[in-house]
Structures are given as structure tokens and as C-alpha cells.
Structure 1
Amino acid sequence: MVTGERARDVTFPSAGAMLAGTFAVPDSRDPAPGVVMVGGSGPSDRTNDDFFPPIQQGLVEAGFAVLSYDKRGVGGSSGDWLAGTIDDFAVDAVAALDFLRAQPEVHAETTGLFGHSEGGWVVLRAAAGGDVPWVITNGCPGMTPAAQDRYALATALQAVDGITPDEADIALAVYDQLVEAGRRGADFAEATRLVQSFSIPASVEELFGEYWSETDESLWEFTKRKQDHDPIPDVLRLRCPHLATFGGADELVPVADSIGLFATAVCRAERHPRATLTVELFPHADHRVQVRGATALVPGYVETLARWITVGSWPW
């Protein structure tokens, strides 16, 4: 967690839930620009599985006030994330932004949103058409969850020793059938029967088993609601600068395709003139902007965020 006497636990309401988080401010007499940090997929808490604290600490040391919070139904927050949607999570992000802006230590007009992975989709939805001054996404796919998850599965299959292309294709075919089942509204029992109807090769059984064994009825229903979320309409509705950061060795997200989709959206005539795009790619870094085998952020990552918020997000 963030250290220092000016970090404290807070709670704030959002759409029938009470969300809990950590609010930290720099040692300064003047109000500081603020950053709301929104976690990724699954039951992410305010630390996002220990990914957020070093970023939060670095931003506070750079002069920013930072709020990170537990997803609804996680940690100290009430509610149930599995009952939610990207829209619900975006409502929570806006509630967090409003809370942060209301703090006397924070300069409201320069306070924006940072979202990691799924949190990138969330902050783009929260900022779309609104008065958010800037938005940052890290490792945010430019395509739907269904397309991104297929890429992640295909990448994982490529890393399995001894697997043949035909065997990998069988696992991907099961995945594709599940996506189609979700689109036609299949319940969990039908989805389970579908998986059981395939003869999964032994070479990929453990990997695919790990993927499917985590799914229960609640997660299946959540996945169905989320799988075809497209972030590009939200990108087109932005009225603020967008910084998209990626690790060049991200095995979960098709980085080049995501950058291309974001860049194509920027060229659309309907984009707001302030809705600029900045892309920062960190070679050899993974989904959490760490180099394989390392436990720390790549050098310069937090500095890049701080510099862009201070200078790059105000192009006019």
C-alpha cells in the first residue's frame, strides 16, 4: 500500500453500493491534480493484485493525489461485481472521480481517470461524452473482450510444448462455440454440455481446463453480458486527450491491432478536436508493464504518466 501520513482509507457511494478505497495526497499546501485508478477484470481490489501501489506511490511522489478503490463486492466495497456490466463499473468510476474532485486537497479541473486492462474499457465509457479532462488506459484492448480473450488463449496455446496446430485449433473451436452460445443466450448448463461434447486433446486439456474450471453460472452470465463490448464507440465520443500505454510483449492483448484501432478512430471526422491520442509502447514489457521475470515496473513508466498528465494532456 501507499506509505505516508497523508494516505487514508475512504468510502463513497455509487449506485446502491458503498465503495471503499485508499486516498493519498502529496505533501503540498496547494491542491494537487488527481488520478482515479480503476482495476482490471475479475475481483480486483484497490491494489489490483499489487500492481497499483508502486504506480500510486510514484504518482503521489510526483505531486498527484491518487484514489484507488475496491471493485463492488470486493474488499471493503459492497455490491456484486458479477451482477454488473461495463456501464455499472463506469458509474462507479464516475462516482470515484466525483469523490476525488470534491476533496479540498485536490484540484478538480485537472483530475482524470486511469484504467488498467478491463479498467481501460471502463474509463473510456466513463469519459465518453463527459467533462473528464484526460484519460489513461494501460493494456486496454481496442477490440471486444471476446476477441481479446481468443487472442490470449491462442497465445497461451502456442506456448504449450508439443502441441500441434490441429490440436490448438480444436481448443479455439471450443472457445468460438462458447462465444456463439453466449450470443444466443445459452445458459450455463448448455455451455457446460457444449464443452463436454468436444474431445479436448490431452496436450491442451490442462490449459483449457484451467480456463473453463474457473467458470460458474454467475461468471458465465457476466461473460455473456460483457463479451461483445466494443470500446471504439466510446473512443469516438471522447472530448479529452487519451494516453494509451502498452507493454510490447503483452501476451494477453493484441497490442498492434489495438493501437491500430485506436489510431483509426482518431482519424474519424466526428472526433472532438481535443480528443488527441498518445501511444506509449514499452518494449519487452508485459501486460503489467514489467519485463518477464521482473517484479518491478519498467523504468520510466510512472514518469511517463506524470509527464503526460502535466504536459501532454493539455495540447491547446
Structure 2
Amino acid sequence: MTRRRNLGARVRRWTLWTVVAVLLTAVGLAGAVVLGNSYDLREERITLRAGGRDLDAVLATPEHGEGPFGLVVFVHGDGPVDATHDGFYRPLWETFARAGYASLSWSKPGVGGSAGDWLDQSMDDRAAETADAVAWARTRPGIDAGRIGLWGASQAGWVLPKAAARTPGVRFVIAVSPAVNWLRQGRWNTLAELRDRGAPPEEAAAALARREAGLRVLRARGTYAQYRAAVPDDGAMTAARWRFVSRNWTSDATGDLRALAARRVPVLLVLAGHDLNVDVRETEAVYRRELPPATLRVAHYPEAAHGLTHPWVDRDELRTLATALLAPRSLFAPGFLPDQRTYVAEFASRRT
């Protein structure tokens, strides 16, 4: 009986210490998550009137001081993106805050508390929305109206040059992984992803055939039903997405880049070495051809993926999740965040 009682006591002690260890681990992880996602920022939820609708927005300002701060206006890429991009933007906001800049970002129409539907927008609509945001910011106390720039990634490549060319006083543009031509970008992306996973030639040929079938419907201004009849296996193309594509498939940034060149707005073009979405060689060639050398700076990150993240971000979901929770700043390619800060700091004393 004594041995049995001793064994029971040991089991109870082991169980107790196991529970304690689990709790301490949980508390430690929770603390690490809180610490990793704490930023030197003040965030203000606001309602931004832009594009004829009310948009749920965030104005992030440096933690200390009353300004006037410069401002970086964020322009999203594709998809239903909220104001923080699920927290992805916060390391950038902090980076800009350390250079004395606020950041303004809003949830796309139909996302969160924003009215409307982003799938009903053209690139012209998005540019007008961005111009309205800049106009609003110029009236905001604590914002330096002479130091407002635009930052955008991916699909924003069709919005940034258009908005900056039409909006007087934009001081700079940061274009991250932008494409130039909608159709060429789509074709390149299709083939790049197939190459990346080692797809056989016949699969690539079939993908291009489906793509051409869809383009024939677009060129004929066809309906969604006609598209599904032509490409029956594309279940990802919804009716709403078809409307969006129908509005935007002719997008090409070349003309807007020429208009931007006439304004001589400084541009930082940021390109990733492992970009499967955008043909960075074409993008760089067009930007260098259309923009004056004195206004264009090109930054290459050879190890980065499309979002200027480490390539493994797109390949290992568990590792990505753990990094996003514990060390979100580490999602970005080495040097990217410091280089962003250095670039905007160059405009700290320039006012128009």
C-alpha cells in the first residue's frame, strides 16, 4: 500500500509539473506574440470619404510628437484587402514612422466596414479613390501637405502612376513588384508557376489554350456564361470576378508612366528576384525607358518573393504563420525595411 501511495504521489507531481510547464510555455508564447506584434505607433481608426463612399481606414502616426508628419498613402494589390492587410503593413508603418512619416490605409470597398464592392472598381476608379485620400490628408492637422507619397504593390502598379500623374503635389512613389501590362502579366504568371512546380510541357500548352479561349470571350465583350462555356474547368472565376476582369483586362501602365515622367515625380521601383507573379525584367525595362533617370531608383532583392518576403513565405504555411505571430518583421527580405526608411527620409526636409 505504501509503494502504491508513493507511486500515486509521484504521478500527481508529474502531472502537476506537466501542467505547470504547459501553462508556462503558453504564457511565454503569448508574451512572445504580444511582444513581436507591438509597434512604435499610434493607430487611429477613421472613416475616409473617397471614391464617393465611406471607407474604413487607419491613420498610423509616429508614437511621439504632434507633427507635422509626412504621409505615406498605401494602395493595395489584388484581392479583398483590409486596412492593415491582416497586419502585414504594420512593420512598414513602423518603419516609416521612424523616419517621421504617418501612414494612411483603408479597407477596400466591401471589406470590413467599407461601403461598396472592390470587384466593381476599374483602375481609374482606384486612382480616383487614391487622389481623394491624398486630398483628405492635405486638410488633416498634423500632416505635412508637402510630403505626401504613395506606396503600393502588385496590382497597384496600374494605380500608382495614374494617381500620381493626376494628383498635384505627390512627392514620391514607391512601386513594389508592379506589372506593366495586364495580359502579359497574366500569361507570364501562368507559365512561371507551371515552371516552378515542374509541370510537363503538355500541361503548359493546355493552360495557354484555356487562357486564349477566355481572351476570345473578353475581346468579344462576352458574358460570364459565355466564359464558363469556353473555359468550363475554371471554377475560380466567379461572376463578380469576371466583371472585374472585364473592366480591367486592357490595363497598361505605359501611358501613365509617361504622364508621371512629365511631372518628374521621384519613383522607387522595388523588384524581387523570386517573383512568380510579375516579369521583373520587363517591368524594369519599361520603367527605365519611360521615366527620367534622375527621378528613378531601382532596388533589387534577389532572394525575395513577390511580396518582398522571403521565398519560403509562399511555400511553408506553418513556418509563415509562426513567423507572422512571433517575428512579423522577419517576414520581409533582408534590407527591405531599412531601405524603405532610408528612401522616405530623403524627403524629410523637402516641402512644396
For this structure pair, what is the TM-score category when the shorter chain's length is used for normalisation?
A: 0.7 to 0.9
Select the structure of larger CA radius of gyration.
2
Q: 1:2 to 1:119 in 2, by over 3 A?
A: farther
- The alpha-carbon deviation at position 5 of structure 1 amounts to 6.6
Equivalent in the alignment of 2:3 = none
Does 1:134 find its partner at 2:144? no
Q: 1:180 to 1:38 in 2, by over 3 A?
A: same
Amino acid in the other structure paired with 1:137: A
Amino acid in the other structure paired with 1:67: L
Equivalent in the alignment of 2:296 = 277
Q: 1:29 to 1:45 in 2, by over 3 A?
A: closer
Contact 1:6/1:24 (<8 A) preserved: yes
Contact 2:75/2:150 (<8 A) preserved: yes
- For residue 155 of structure 1, the aligned residue among 171, 176, 192 is 192
- The alpha-carbon deviation at position 2 of structure 1 amounts to 7.3
Local SS of the residue matching 2:276 = coil
Pairwise CA RMSD of aligned residues? 2.2
Equivalent in the alignment of 2:207 = 171
Following the alignment from structure 1 to structure 2, what is the Cα–Cα distance between the partners of residues 5 and 166? 52
- The alpha-carbon deviation at position 309 of structure 1 amounts to 2.1
- For residue 85 of structure 1, the aligned residue among 112, 116, 122 is 122
- For residue 99 of structure 1, the aligned residue among 119, 136, 141 is 136
Following the alignment from structure 2 to structure 1, what is the Cα–Cα distance between the partners of residues 38 and 259? 34
Equivalent in the alignment of 2:305 = 286
Cα-to-partner distance string for 1:115-164 (whole Å, 9 max, x where unaligned): 111123212111114311211111111x2222112111111112334x32
User: Residues 228-307 of structure 1: matches in 2 within 5 Å?
Assistant: 228-238=250-260, 239=263, 240-266=265-291, 276-294=295-313, 295=323, 296-307=331-342
Following the alignment from structure 1 to structure 2, what is the Cα–Cα distance between the partners of residues 180 and 278? 38
Local SS of the residue matching 1:283 = strand
Q: What is the TM-score normalised by the length of structure 1?
A: 0.86
Amino acid in the other structure paired with 1:81: W
Contact 1:36/1:100 (<8 A) preserved: no
Equivalent in the alignment of 2:57 = 21
Local SS of the residue matching 1:233 = helix
- The alpha-carbon deviation at position 47 of structure 1 amounts to 2.2
Equivalent in the alignment of 1:108 = 145
Local SS of the residue matching 1:95 = helix
The structure with the greater share of residues assigned to helix is 2
Local SS of the residue matching 1:186 = coil
Q: 1:145 to 1:136 in 2, by over 3 A?
A: same
* Seq. identity, %: 30
Amino acid in the other structure paired with 1:107: D
Structure 2 regions of 5+ residues with no counterpart?
1-36, 314-322, 324-330
Equivalent in the alignment of 2:12 = none
Structure 1 regions of 5+ residues with no counterpart?
197-208, 268-272
- The alpha-carbon deviation at position 213 of structure 1 amounts to 2.0
Q: 1:136 to 1:229 in 2, by over 3 A?
A: same
Q: 1:5 to 1:261 in 2, by over 3 A?
A: closer
Contact 2:98/2:341 (<8 A) preserved: no
Contact 1:266/1:276 (<8 A) preserved: yes
Equivalent in the alignment of 2:11 = none
Amino acid in the other structure paired with 2:48: F
Q: 1:284 to 1:138 in 2, by over 3 A?
A: same
